[in-house]
Amino acid sequence: MTAPTPIYAWKRFTLEAREQTLPNGIITEHITLTHPGAVLILPVANDGKLVMVHQYRPSIDRWIYEFPAGTMESGEHPETCAKRELSEEVQLAASEWHSVGESLPAPGFCDETQYLYVAKQVSATDGELDEDEIIEVVHFSVDEVAHMIASNEIQDSKTIVAFCRAQLLGLIG
């Protein structure tokens, strides 16, 4: 494998090309989008409802339902980022945190790892959205979210993965 050659950089992301020898011996050029990592938080309100965001996503030019999430700063620990994003996006703090694993959203072309958390025992706090975030905070029951996933109303993969893991681990009903 050769050292990567940067093709393009934007914010904390870089598109890189490199020559790589595959496990079968074939040498190929591979393009990778490097990503600093991200977090997703599945907040459980004290009434048992799940806190979601209805967020406008410019890349797909539409609004989607998802759990709060965000990109990690350089050197930032995932749980630190999760606490910051929970405060910024839905103005909540949590005293109980559960890691529900990691997810690789697009390993065919991106090295991003997403760290997934369930946050409980929440309370109101101050937080500010990033200037490019357009978010409405919404609350749904576990059954409502399950129905929204089954009916394809929720399509965000990180949201679906976190919801399924939280259910399998018994962290939500």
pLDDT tens-digit profile of 72-85? 999 999 999 999 99
Contact 151, 121 (CB under 8 A): no
What per-residue confidence (pLDDT) applies to 127?
84
What per-residue confidence (pLDDT) applies to 2?
79
What per-residue confidence (pLDDT) applies to 137?
96
Strands 38-43 and 114-124: parallel
Residues 96-102, mean pLDDT to the nearest whole number: 98
What per-residue confidence (pLDDT) applies to 26?
96
Q: What residues are annotated to the active site? A: 131
Kindly report the pTM of this predicted structure.
0.92
Please provide the average confidence, as pLDDT, over all residues in the chain.
95
Contact 160, 69 (CB under 8 A): no
Which amino acid is located at 168 in the chain? L
Contact 78, 37 (CB under 8 A): yes
Weakest mean pLDDT among 13-17, 40-44, 115-119? 13-17
Residue 152 has pLDDT above 90, yes or no: yes
